[in-house]
């Protein structure tokens, strides 16, 4: 995939109607936004368009209305918050690509901003329906994709409209593509990748793809126990995907054949049961991974493992991290994930954290400003690491 894509700065936007796909899928409670991080992240692109006299038509999905009009998933709350942040009114359309949206888009003046209703109110959105794509495109002259979080989805508002309009990236997508694209295509070495999370099956293709590119691959989290089982260790009650044991053996053989260092935990934090509630108190002890008692399960990496993993990060020039080292939601079982976040924060390397829990860990610990790049898309960054083509990026014009 070509990562060298045109951005809003490579195209004339003055006087043009610009349809900009953002990621306004923000969390709300009782109709109030609980985190406006995604709205704030979209501001540089919107402000550029406003300052360069574009007529700005924003669109996004929110939640999973599945083609039904659910008032609690209306983007009106986003329009209100965006109006405050921009210091100007954001005009709210009553529909997605209907009469109201089209009338308001046609009446837009230079520098004005409007927001369409939740794109997933339309049944055709997630099916990438050409009719809906055409209707959306009919309101604009240019398409800008600034929603990396949905770039792995071939939907009407993320990729389909690019069949009918010249398409470029906004600043968020441009940053994701340039930093992550370079890390995978032409990394500074040593290149270290850290994978965590619960299931091997979620990261099958990622492991396979990264073994072609990295110098060291670190595996932690629940997925590490299937690798331990593949090495012949008993893993007690730990997470184990027996159907993937042969796959893990293949990956260990592949790492050896390619001269890639594959680092697995040497010790782990065990408990007799998974914490319930998830953040409740829990009694734990640390044991070597080869000595997990039959009636206990591994729930985090131990201190020796933390030190080995941190040492690998210290010597790296490029580090990509996706997935926690343990049950991060529980303070007692978050130490491994915190140690990884600390190692990245202390590193001089180009450090990239792919969405989800790893990103949350860096942000909660106040390390976000010490990380080169925290991805805004969990699923999209995973598919990026798999080497898959992302529809929302492939549809953009090459430079």
**195 lies in the same domain as 137:** no
Compute the 3-state secondary structure of the chain and give helix, strand, coil in percent, each to the nearest 5.
40, 15, 40
Select the more confidently predicted residue: 377 or 304: 304
| 274 and 148 both lie in a single domain | no
For tokens 């899928």, the residue is 25
Residue 98, domain CATH: 3.40.50.1260
User: Does the annotation count 378 as an active-site position?
Assistant: no
Both 98 and 205 in one domain: the answer is: no
Lowest-confidence region among 13-22, 196-205, 239-248, 253-262: 196-205
Is residue 169 located within the same domain as residue 242?
no
* Beta pairing, strands 297-301 & 267-271: antiparallel
pLDDT band (50, 70, 90) for residue 363: confident
Burial 7-32 (b: 16+ CB within 10 A, else e): bbeebebeebbbbbbbbbbbebeeee
* pLDDT per position as a tens digit, 35-72: 998 999 999 999 999 999 999 999 999 999 999 999 99
- Residues with Cβ within 8 Å of 152's Cβ and at least 6 positions away in sequence, in order, are 377, 379, 380, 383, 384, 388, 390, 391, 392
- Name which of 2-6, 336-340, 343-347 the model is least confident about: 2-6
Given 298, 323, 356, 378, which residue is catalytic? 356
Among the options 63, 98, 111, 379, which is catalytic?
379
25 plus 159 within the same structural domain:
yes
Span 64-111, pLDDT tens digits: 999 999 999 999 999 999 999 999 999 999 999 999 999 999 999 999
User: Which of 140, 173, 206 is the endpoint of a domain?
Assistant: 173
Domain interval for residue 197: 187-386
* Alpha helices (runs of H) in the chain, residue ranges in sequence order: 37-51, 76-86, 99-107, 130-137, 171-185, 204-210, 224-230, 245-258, 303-314, 335-346, 356-364, 378-386, 391-394
Catalytic residue among 199, 249, 254, 304: 199
pLDDT of 382 higher than 90 = no
- What whole-number distance in Å separates Cα of residue 154 and Cα of residue 362? 30
CA distance linking residue 336 with residue 220, whole number of Å: 9
Provide the pairing of β-strand 285-288 with 297-301. Answer: unpaired
pLDDT for 199? 80
Shared domain for 120 and 251, answered yes or no, is no
Q: Answer yes or no: do 115 and 138 share one domain.
A: yes
* Catalytic site includes residue 379: yes
The sign of the CA dihedral 176, 325, 274, 368 is negative
Residue 179 inside a domain? The answer is no
Q: Which range, 1-10, 228-237, 372-381, 387-396, is most confident?
A: 228-237
pLDDT of residue 29: 92
* 199 among known catalytic residues: yes
Q: With respect to residue 3, please indicate whether it lies within any of the assigned structural domains.
A: no
Shared domain for 29 and 148, answered yes or no, is yes
Domain count, the chain: 2
Pick the catalytic residue: 5, 38, 104, 203?
38
Q: Which of 127, 151, 173 is the last residue before a domain boundary?
A: 173
**One domain for residues 155 and 195:** no
């Amino acid at each position: 995939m070509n990562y060298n894509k045109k951005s809003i700065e490579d195209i004339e936007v003055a006087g043009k109607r610009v349809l900009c796909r953002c990621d306004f899928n923000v969390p709300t409670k009782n109709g109030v936004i609980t985190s406006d991080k995604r709205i704030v992240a979209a501001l540089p692109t919107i402000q550029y368009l406003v300052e360069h006299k574009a007529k700005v038509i924003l669109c996004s999905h929110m939640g999973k209305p599945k083609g039904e009009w659910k008032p609690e998933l209306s983007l009106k709350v986003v329009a209100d918050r965006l109006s405050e942040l921009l210091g100007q009114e954001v005009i709210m359309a009553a529909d997605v690509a209907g009469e109201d949206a089209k009338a308001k888009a046609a009446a837009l003046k230079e520098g004005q901003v409007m927001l369409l209703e939740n794109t997933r109110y339309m049944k055709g959105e997630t099916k990438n329906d050409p009719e809906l794509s055409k209707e959306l495109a009919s309101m604009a002259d240019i398409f800008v994709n600034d929603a990396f979080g949905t770039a792995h989805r071939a939907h009407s508002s993320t990729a389909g409209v690019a069949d009918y309009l010249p398409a470029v990236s906004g600043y968020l997508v441009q940053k994701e593509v340039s930093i992550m694209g370079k890390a995978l295509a032409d990394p500074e070495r040593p290149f270290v990748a850290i994978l965590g999370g619960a299931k091997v099956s979620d990261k099958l293709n990622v492991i396979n793809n990264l073994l072609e590119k990295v110098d060291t691959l670190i595996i932690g989290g629940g997925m590490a126990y299937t690798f331990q089982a593949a090495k012949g260790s008993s893993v007690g009650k730990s997470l184990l995907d027996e159907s993937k044991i042969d796959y893990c053996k293949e990956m260990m053989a592949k790492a050896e054949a390619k001269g890639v260092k594959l680092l697995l935990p040497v010790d782990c934090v065990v408990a007799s049961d998974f914490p319930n509630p998830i953040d409740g108190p829990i009694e734990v002890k640390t044991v070597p991974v080869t000595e997990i008692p039959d009636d206990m399960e591994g729930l985090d990496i131990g201190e020796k493992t933390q030190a080995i993993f941190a040492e690998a990060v210290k010597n790296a020039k490029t580090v990509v991290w996706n997935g926690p080292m343990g049950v991060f939601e529980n303070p007692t079982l978050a130490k491994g994930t915190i140690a990884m976040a600390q190692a990245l924060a202390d590193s001089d390397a180009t450090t990239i954290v792919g969405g989800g829990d790893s990103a949350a860990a860096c942000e909660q610990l106040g390390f976000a400003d010490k990380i080169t790049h925290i991805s805004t898309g969990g699923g999209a960054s995973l598919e990026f690491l798999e080497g898959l083509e992302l529809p929302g990026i492939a549809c953009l014009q090459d430079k």
